[in-house]
A = this chain, B = another copy of it.
Amino acid sequence: MIVVLKNGVTEDKRDRLIDWLKGQGLTIHISEGQFQTVLGLVGDTTAVDMDLIASLAIVDSVKRVTEPFKCCNRKFHPEDTVVDVKGVKIGAGNFVMIAGPCSVESEEQIVGIAKAVKASGAHMLRGGAYKPRTSPYDFQGLAATGLELLKIARAETGLPIVTEIMGTGALDLFMDVDVIQVGARNMQNFDLLKQLGKLNKPILLKRGLAATLKELLMSAEYIMAGGNENVILCERGIRTFDDYTRNTLDLAAVPMLHELTHLPVIVDPSHSTGLARMVRPMSLASAVVADGLIIEVHNDPMNALCDGAQSIRPEEYDKLLKDVYKVREVAVG
């Protein structure tokens, strides 16, 4: 950490700050510039309160030199992590296609869609049983029943299942889920992240609507610091000023995350645009950089109980999947 002092600070005040910093177990390198004195703080600065130091009258600014994340930091773990979901591998060149409806609605629906996307080549089935809806008056999901229906679909197709958890209260019900998803609104639900860190189960962590990449990585760090290193990151669109699309897919975040972390990164083209007709182009574009795609597929989007606007039909998915692999071949080859 670098602390830049203001011009004309008295020696006495400077020394008191240095003593206080040393009292926190740090070694201090002093460098006198033409206009300013710069203190280099060496040691474990992860617990140092940057904001407090920055607020002192004699301090001009404070800059962090090292990233505050460790477990997920590529610097300390250069090789790509491969997350293994019952034999389906993600990361380090292993590309994964996850598909399914926004919400589980009935056995017929979820099994039908599961069979269709499996026939197209999907590796995992997604489906919401607990739904985070902005309005308390919107459909909130089938809850425990939805989880049971997902397991039936898994039994029928062999596809591992991915579904969202909304709080620690229902954690027991998720023990037989293959990948537990943390939604964008819960990205900084630290209580939940800590509990998931105690599991030995892959976690799909979605980026918050206004989260920076550093914040996303710090949330992954919460899970990993607890001992669970099976984290898959997911770019699902961020909030910007334009209102023609629901969110803005931040595609460059994917290669940037690959530089910062060894964790696999997938893209959700359905939520990031909110429009079924945008799913194909954004999926093809994402195939250039991502380790996988999670796509909403519904056999009857007009009557879907939730997010029908962004679901594509199984036959569209079938064509899309083939083209995704063709783009990937160009990008990787």
Contact = CB atoms under 8 A, between A and B. Distances in A.
Given A285-B286, A301-B52, A241 B38 contact: no
Contacts of A134: 188, 215, 218
A327 to B, nearest CB: 5
Contacts of A133: 190
A68 to B, nearest CB: 5
A174 B111 CA distance: 43
A192 B212 contact: no
Nearest to A40: B31
B248 A240 contact: yes
A214 to B, nearest CB: 8
Nearest to A43: B34
Residue with the highest number of chain B CB atoms closer than 10 Å, among A170, A226, A307, A309: A309
B47 A138 contact: yes
A209 interface: yes
Contact of A273 (B69, B240, B252): B252
Contacts of A192: 167
Given A244-B256, A244-B260, A277 B55 contact: yes
B168 A241 contact: no
Contact of A330 (B52, B211, B310, B326): B326
Contact of A49 (B36, B61, B168, B308): B308
A240 B238 contact: yes
B274 A51 contact: yes
Interface in A97-153: 132-139
Interface of A: 2, 4, 6-7, 20, 29, 31, 33-36, 38, 40, 42-43, 46-47, 49, 51-55, 60-61, 63, 65-66, 68-69, 75, 132-139, 166-170, 185-186, 188-192, 194-195, 209-215, 218, 221-222, 225-226, 238-246, 248-253, 255-256, 260, 272-278, 281-282, 284-286, 288-289, 301-302, 304, 306-310, 323, 326-327, 330-331
